[in-house]
């Protein structure tokens, strides 16, 4: 916290001195020219003393101002470093967000693929169940073979063999297709679980980076506020010193002219 009370108190003391110089207490009886000249010279000496005091204070304040300038330069460098750090963290956060978006898209696509596969599997299972029931009702594959050997002529026998083979081949393809779909569903499920884990990891990374960026921004704002406060104190001090210098210089000049005029009248 920058000390503000001391410059204000000094400012009040300077104002009190100026008031006493501008509006001196009049004696009870009318003073003669020499007495008036003495009073003016006393006020002139007081004004010169005040001017010297301001000069000394100004030199001391200039030292403080140099410290403030050094501090401000250090804060500027710190701000530059924080800005660079913020840019890096923001870049990491952007990358994490992009990766998270890609993973989320893949996750949604995989879930849709899993749903489609399960629907296909359910349809194939229903078809296979119907075929199995029909095969059971007509005696299974053995019944097809019996049907073939009961044919009366070669043409019927040939058609029967083809039909039996087609039925058996279809049943075999159904079993293979269902088995393949089952493996596909299993692979898809495993892939989905891996994507879910990756999604969780990337989300954690993104949150951590976002928190890091937020902390950097908070530090940056605190430093920026400190810089602004330092600059404000700098401006106020310079303004006060310049105002005091001008006031005392004008007072010295005014009293010097009054003193010269009174001396000329004697």
Q: Which residues of the chain have pLDDT under 70?
A: 1-31, 125, 127-168, 171-172, 175
DSSP secondary-structure letter at 28?
S
What's the chain's length in residues? Answer: 266
Q: Which pair of tokens denotes residue 152?
A: 């009366």
**CATH number of the domain within which 42 lies:** 1.10.287
What does residue 28 show for φ and ψ, rounded to 5 degrees?
A: -65, -40
What whole-number distance in Å separates Cα of residue 148 and Cα of residue 159?
8
Q: What's the confidence (pLDDT) of residue 17?
A: 57
Q: Identify whether 125 is part of a domain.
A: yes
> Which structural domain, as residue segments, surrounds residue 173?
7-21+31-265
Q: What's the confidence (pLDDT) of residue 152?
A: 53
What whole-number distance in Å separates Cα of residue 230 and Cα of residue 236?
10
**CB-based burial label for 154 (10 Å; 0-12, 13-18, 19+):** exposed
What whole-number distance in Å separates Cα of residue 134 and Cα of residue 179?
20
Q: What's the confidence (pLDDT) of residue 81?
A: 86
Q: What's the confidence (pLDDT) of residue 257?
A: 92
Count of structural domains, the chain: 1
Nearest to 65 by CA among 214, 236, 220: 236
Q: What's the confidence (pLDDT) of residue 254?
A: 92
Place of tokens 């410059």: 7
Q: Identify whether 188 is part of a domain.
A: yes
Nearest to 241 by CA among 60, 18, 43: 60
What whole-number distance in Å separates Cα of residue 67 and Cα of residue 59?
13
| Distance between start and end Cα atoms, the chain | 57
Q: What's the confidence (pLDDT) of residue 35?
A: 86
Q: Which pair of tokens denotes residue 246?
A: 């001008």
Q: Establish how many alpha carbons lie within 13 A of residue 31's alpha carbon, considering only the half-sphere containing its beta carbon.
A: 13
Q: What's the confidence (pLDDT) of residue 79?
A: 80
Q: Identify whether 2 is part of a domain.
A: no
- How many Cβ atoms are within 10 Å of 215's Cβ, its own excluded? 11
């Amino acid at each position: 916290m920058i000390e503000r009370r001391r410059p204000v108190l000094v400012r009040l003391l300077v104002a009190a001195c100026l008031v006493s110089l501008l509006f001196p207490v009049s004696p009870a009886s009318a003073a003669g020219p020499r007495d008036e000249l003495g009073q003016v010279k006393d006020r002139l000496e007081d004004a010169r003393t005040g001017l010297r005091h301001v000069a000394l204070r100004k030199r001391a304040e200039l030292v403080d101002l140099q410290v403030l300038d050094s501090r401000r330069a250090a804060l500027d460098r710190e701000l530059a470093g924080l800005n660079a750090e913020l840019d890096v963290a923001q870049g990491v956060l952007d990358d994490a967000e992009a990766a998270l978006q890609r993973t989320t898209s893949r996750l949604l696509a995989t879930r849709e693929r899993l749903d489609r596969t399960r629907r296909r599997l359910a349809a194939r299972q229903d078809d296979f169940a119907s075929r199995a029931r029909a095969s059971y009702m007509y005696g299974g594959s053995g019944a097809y073979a019996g049907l073939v050997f009961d044919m009366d002529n070669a043409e019927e026998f040939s058609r029967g063999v083809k039909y039996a083979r087609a039925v058996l081949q279809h049943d075999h393809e159904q079993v293979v297709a269902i088995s393949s779909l089952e493996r596909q569903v299993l692979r898809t499920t495993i892939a989905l679980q891996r994507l879910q884990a990756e999604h969780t990891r990337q989300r954690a990374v993104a949150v951590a980076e976002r928190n890091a960026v937020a902390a950097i921004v908070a530090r940056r704002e605190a430093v920026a506020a400190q810089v602004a406060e330092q600059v404000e104190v700098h401006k106020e001090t310079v303004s006060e010193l310049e105002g005091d210098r001008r006031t005392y210089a004008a007072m010295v000049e005014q009293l010097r002219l009054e003193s010269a005029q009174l001396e000329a009248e004697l």
